[in-house]
């Protein structure tokens, strides 16, 4: 799946043979790395090369070098460019610094933000989403001339994956902005999606959209703009809620841009300045062929720059650093070039924004940009959420993460206090507690069960986790046990909580993974041996350093910059 040109198209609903009634994470493969291309990927590549020859057909006129070069450049705007689309929103906000006052009037608006999160006492927590779809906002296929430029097929392909997710914190004092890139393959708990309690975070949008649309069609709603609108609204609310649950911080601003929108914006900007630590040659997959050092890339080459993951030391994680570098470059270009002083180009940018960008209700870009304009040159720190390891679920590569450590890291970066874990449930539990061991350490389930029984949780079954239970610590619950499940989660610092039809009514099921940290409030003698995450985003394990290998995921050190400063060099 790491070849954008051949990745199965985004899932918009459960596929045959791909029902996730519970997270199905197998035992991790020691030393598994994305640096080495799997044999299966090479076989797929061989098939693609053969298919490409068949597609060209025999007897057709020989194509010229110019035609081949044209097609190569068009391929660069194809599948996978959505890893960067959300960043274009930041550039568009710059136009109001130059006196444009009509910008706010033409956007499509979304009610995805929870009412209780709208006012954060002057702070802004903004989720930028790049949506992979070949449809316009009304659900219609993009015009053929656009699809041809994007090399995106005939419009029947594709789904609604949130392939780019960037959570930005702008404090009211405007002194230090922090932006977290969220790897799109992070395997997270999801809510309200029948058949799924975990999924890749990027799928939270499309799966919820599909679910809601199927219900609406069953009630008689026909295909059309209203069905598309309601489906997308459900998807937006789902992805916002999923990111909020993962990071533990409220979100009060939201922006979404689609495939065609990013293409339009990248073209209007006329390319970007980038800097590479090493020369790269990924001509077959992404088309990226660049020397080391600083350079200016046109729109097509910029897409190749952000698409590449083959040949990079940390695959998709290194690609998040390219997103961050690109965002810096876009902001610099908007500030320093003549784009905003050119009425024709300015109008083109505004038209693209109104056509392709969706904003949360009540968000005035005019006020937003005026606020940012008061800051002389705020520092911007880019981070990437850490990944513990890579694994495979239902035949798909996923990122296994530590949700508790992620909450702690994001909250600290955003200046949000982490509530102390309660030492006991607030109300007497009535649900039976089943505990299963997925940690690989014998006796962990029995130990945790005994500790929780002493805190008032009625004892249930204790045993080893099955394949379907997964390997990460999670709290599942059956009908009527939601309150006790949430109390249990809070006692461990905020474990993911999810309803499950596989858990009996009145039962709570705790999966004890190797990532579970037993707090001193439960067991004062417990050693701190669980994975923790440093501020820089590197996952470590105090008592298991021998398990760390050179193939472990590396989300990299934070990149700190200021708008107008030198473009950071990346892999």
CATH at 475: 3.30.70.2390
Residues 6+ apart with CB under 8 A from 310: 2, 3, 37, 282, 285, 286
Residues 6+ apart with CB under 8 A from 160: 10, 12, 131, 132, 133, 205, 206, 209, 232, 235
Residue 521: count of CB within 10 angstroms of its CB:
16
Tokens of 311: 């040949």
Q: How confident is the model at residue 146 (pLDDT cuts 50, 70, 90)?
A: low
My answer on whether 439 and 330 are in the same domain is no
Residue keyed to tokens 């802004």: 124
Last residue in a domain, options 499, 518, 537: 518
Query: Which has the higher per-residue pLDDT, 456 or 312?
Result: 456
Contact in structure between 324 and 128 (CB atoms under 8 Å) = no
pLDDT of residue 64: 62
Q: Which of 330, 331, 307 is nearest to 319 (CA)?
A: 307
Domain that holds residue 396: 110-414
pLDDT of residue 301: 77
The predicted-structure confidence for 248-268, as pLDDT tens digits, reads as follows: 999 999 999 876 677 777 677
- Number of domains comprising the chain: 2
Residue 46 in any domain: the answer is no
Burial class (CB in 10 A: 0-12, 13-18, 19+), 555: buried
Instruction: Phi first, then psi: give them for residue 109, nearest 5 degrees.
Output: -115, 155
Residue 19 in any domain: the answer is no
Question: Residue 155 above 70 pLDDT?
Answer: no
My answer on whether 250 and 146 are in the same domain is yes
My answer on whether 318 and 194 are in the same domain is yes
* Dihedral in degrees, nearest 10, Cα atoms 107, 135, 252, 536: -130
Burial class (CB in 10 A: 0-12, 13-18, 19+), 560: middle
Query: Which has the higher per-residue pLDDT, 489 or 144?
Result: 489
Q: How confident is the model at residue 72 (pLDDT cuts 50, 70, 90)?
A: very low
Contact in structure between 228 and 137 (CB atoms under 8 Å) = yes
Contact in structure between 313 and 33 (CB atoms under 8 Å) = no
Contact in structure between 478 and 488 (CB atoms under 8 Å) = no
- Beta strands per DSSP E along 310-415: 357-360, 379-384, 389-393, 396-400
Last residue in a domain, options 486, 502, 518: 518
My answer on whether 439 and 354 are in the same domain is no
Q: How confident is the model at residue 102 (pLDDT cuts 50, 70, 90)?
A: low
What are the Cα distances from residue 46, in Å, to 9, 41, 42, 113, 282?
19, 9, 6, 45, 16
Residue 66 in any domain: the answer is no
My answer on whether 171 and 284 are in the same domain is yes
My answer on whether 403 and 468 are in the same domain is no
What is the distance between the terminal CA atoms of the chain, rounded to a whole angstrom? 21
- What's the mean per-residue pLDDT of the chain? 74
Query: Which has the higher per-residue pLDDT, 280 or 306?
Result: 280
Residue 84 in any domain: the answer is no
DSSP bridge pairs for 285: none
Last residue in a domain, options 500, 518, 536: 518
Question: Residue 131 above 60 pLDDT?
Answer: yes
What is the DSSP code string of 470-496? -SS-EEEE-TT-HHHHHHHHHHTTS--
Range with the poorest average pLDDT among 211-225, 315-329, 470-484: 315-329
My answer on whether 395 and 481 are in the same domain is no
The predicted-structure confidence for 44-61, as pLDDT tens digits, reads as follows: 333 333 333 333 333 434
pLDDT of residue 204: 95
pLDDT of residue 197: 81
Residue 37 in any domain: the answer is no
My answer on whether 346 and 198 are in the same domain is yes
Range with the poorest average pLDDT among 1-15, 137-151, 466-480: 1-15
Question: CA 232 to CA 500: how far, in whole Å?
Answer: 25
pLDDT of residue 19: 33
pLDDT of residue 59: 41
Range with the poorest average pLDDT among 144-158, 212-226, 358-372, 428-442: 144-158
* Dihedral in degrees, nearest 10, Cα atoms 243, 80, 93, 412: 30
Q: How confident is the model at residue 18 (pLDDT cuts 50, 70, 90)?
A: very low
Question: CA 426 to CA 419: how far, in whole Å?
Answer: 14
Residues 6+ apart with CB under 8 A from 444: 437, 512, 516
Question: CA 164 to CA 116: how far, in whole Å?
Answer: 25
pLDDT of residue 95: 44
My answer on whether 406 and 447 are in the same domain is no
Residue 557 in any domain: the answer is no
- Please give the share of the chain, as a percent, with pLDDT higher than 70: 68
Question: Residue 27 above 50 pLDDT?
Answer: no
The top-scoring range by mean pLDDT among 30-39, 297-306, 365-374, 488-497 is: 488-497
Dihedral angle sign, alpha carbons of residues 274, 322, 541, 397? negative
Question: Residue 429 above 90 pLDDT?
Answer: yes
pLDDT of residue 276: 92
Residue 475 in any domain: the answer is yes
What is the mean pLDDT of the segment spanning 189-213?
Answer: 91
My answer on whether 388 and 442 are in the same domain is no
What are the Cα distances from residue 129, in Å, to 28, 54, 199?
30, 37, 17
Contact in structure between 275 and 359 (CB atoms under 8 Å) = no
The top-scoring range by mean pLDDT among 50-54, 439-443, 536-540 is: 439-443
Q: How confident is the model at residue 310 (pLDDT cuts 50, 70, 90)?
A: confident
pLDDT of residue 359: 92
What is the mean pLDDT of the segment spanning 451-473?
Answer: 90
Residue 369: count of CB within 10 angstroms of its CB:
18
Q: Which of 206, 166, 517, 157 is nearest to 321 (CA)?
A: 166
Tokens of 482: 């939601």
Q: How confident is the model at residue 121 (pLDDT cuts 50, 70, 90)?
A: confident
Question: CA 364 to CA 399: how far, in whole Å?
Answer: 36
Range with the poorest average pLDDT among 191-200, 211-220, 339-348, 513-522: 339-348
What is the mean pLDDT of the segment spanning 370-390?
Answer: 79
Tokens of 259: 């495939």
Range with the poorest average pLDDT among 203-217, 367-381, 433-447: 367-381
pLDDT of residue 208: 96
What is the mean pLDDT of the segment spanning 401-426?
Answer: 89
My answer on whether 478 and 376 are in the same domain is no
Question: Residue 270 above 50 pLDDT?
Answer: yes
DSSP bridge pairs for 398: 391
pLDDT of residue 336: 62
pLDDT of residue 542: 33
What is the mean pLDDT of the segment spanning 343-368?
Answer: 79
My answer on whether 216 and 259 are in the same domain is yes
Question: Residue 550 above 60 pLDDT?
Answer: no
Q: How confident is the model at residue 17 (pLDDT cuts 50, 70, 90)?
A: very low
* Dihedral in degrees, nearest 10, Cα atoms 45, 46, 51, 53: 120
Residue 523: alpha-carbon gap to chain centroid: 35
Query: Which has the higher per-residue pLDDT, 18 or 286?
Result: 286
> Which CATH number fits the domain that encloses residue 203?
3.40.630.190
pLDDT of residue 512: 93
What is the mean pLDDT of the segment spanning 309-338?
Answer: 75
Question: CA 518 to CA 406: how far, in whole Å?
Answer: 17
Q: What is the SS3 assignment for 433?
A: strand
Question: Residue 233 above 80 pLDDT?
Answer: yes
Question: Residue 441 above 80 pLDDT?
Answer: yes
Question: Residue 498 above 50 pLDDT?
Answer: yes
Range with the poorest average pLDDT among 91-105, 164-178, 180-194, 226-240: 91-105
Question: CA 442 to CA 120: how far, in whole Å?
Answer: 45
Residue 83 in any domain: the answer is no
């Amino acid at each position: 799946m790491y070849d954008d040109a051949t990745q199965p198209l985004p899932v918009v609903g459960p596929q045959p043979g791909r029902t996730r009634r519970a997270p199905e994470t197998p035992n991790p493969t020691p030393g598994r790395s994305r640096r080495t291309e799997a044999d299966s990927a090479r076989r797929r590549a061989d098939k693609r090369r053969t298919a490409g020859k068949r597609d060209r057909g025999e007897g057709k006129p020989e194509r010229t070098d110019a035609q081949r070069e044209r097609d190569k450049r068009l391929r660069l705007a194809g599948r996978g460019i959505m890893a960067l689309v959300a960043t274009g929103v930041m550039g568009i906000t710059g136009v109001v610094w130059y006196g444009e006052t009509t910008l706010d009037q033409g956007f499509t608006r979304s009610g995805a933000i929870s009412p209780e999160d709208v006012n954060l006492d002057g702070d802004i927590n903004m989720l930028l989403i790049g949506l992979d779809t070949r449809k316009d906002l009304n659900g219609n296929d993009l015009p053929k001339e656009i699809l041809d430029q994007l090399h995106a097929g005939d419009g029947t392909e594709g789904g609604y994956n949130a392939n780019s997710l960037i959570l930005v914190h702008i404090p009211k004092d405007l002194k230090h902005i922090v932006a977290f890139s969220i790897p799109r393959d992070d395997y997270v708990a999801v809510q309200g999606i029948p058949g799924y309690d975990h999924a890749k975070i990027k799928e939270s949008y499309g799966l919820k959209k599909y679910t809601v649309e199927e219900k609406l069609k069953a009630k008689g709603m026909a295909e059309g703009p209203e069905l598309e609108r309601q489906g997308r609204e459900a998807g937006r609310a789902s992805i916002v809620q999923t990111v909020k649950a993962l990071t533990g911080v409220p979100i009060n601003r939201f922006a979404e841009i689609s495939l065609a929108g990013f293409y339009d914006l990248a073209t209007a900007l006329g390319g970007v300045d980038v800097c590479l630590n090493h020369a790269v040659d990924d001509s077959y997959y992404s088309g990226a062929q660049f020397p080391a050092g600083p350079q200016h890339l046109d729109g097509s080459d910029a897409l190749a720059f952000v698409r590449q993951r083959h040949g990079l030391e940390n695959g998709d994680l290194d690609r998040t650093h390219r997103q961050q570098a690109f965002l810096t470059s876009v902001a610099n270009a908007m500030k320093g070039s003549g784009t905003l002083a050119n009425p024709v180009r300015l109008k083109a940018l505004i038209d693209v924004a109104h056509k392709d960008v969706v904003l949360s209700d009540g968000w005035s870009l005019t006020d937003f940009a005026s606020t940012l304009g008061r800051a002389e040159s705020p520092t911007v720190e880019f981070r990437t959420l850490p990944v513990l390891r890579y694994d495979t679920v239902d035949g798909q590569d996923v990122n296994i993460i530590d949700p508790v450590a992620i909450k702690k890291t994001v909250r600290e970066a955003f200046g949000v206090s982490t509530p102390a874990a309660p030492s006991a449930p607030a109300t007497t539990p009535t649900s039976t507690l089943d505990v299963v061991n997925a940690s690989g350490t014998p006796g962990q389930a029995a130990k945790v069960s005994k500790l929780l029984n002493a805190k008032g949780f009625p004892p249930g079954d204790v045993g080893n986790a099955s394949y379907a239970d997964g390997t990460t610590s999670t709290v599942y619950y059956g009908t009527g046990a939601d309150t006790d499940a949430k109390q249990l989660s809070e006692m461990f610092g905020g474990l993911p909580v999810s309803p499950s039809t596989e858990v009996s009514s009145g039962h709570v099921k705790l999966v004890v993974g190797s990532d579970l940290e037993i707090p001193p409030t439960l067991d004062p003698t417990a050693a701190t041996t669980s994975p923790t995450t440093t501020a820089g985003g590197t996952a470590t394990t105090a008592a298991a350093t021998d398990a760390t290998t050179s193939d472990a995921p590396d989300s990299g050190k934070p990149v700190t910059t200021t708008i107008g400063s030198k473009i950071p060099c990346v892999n």
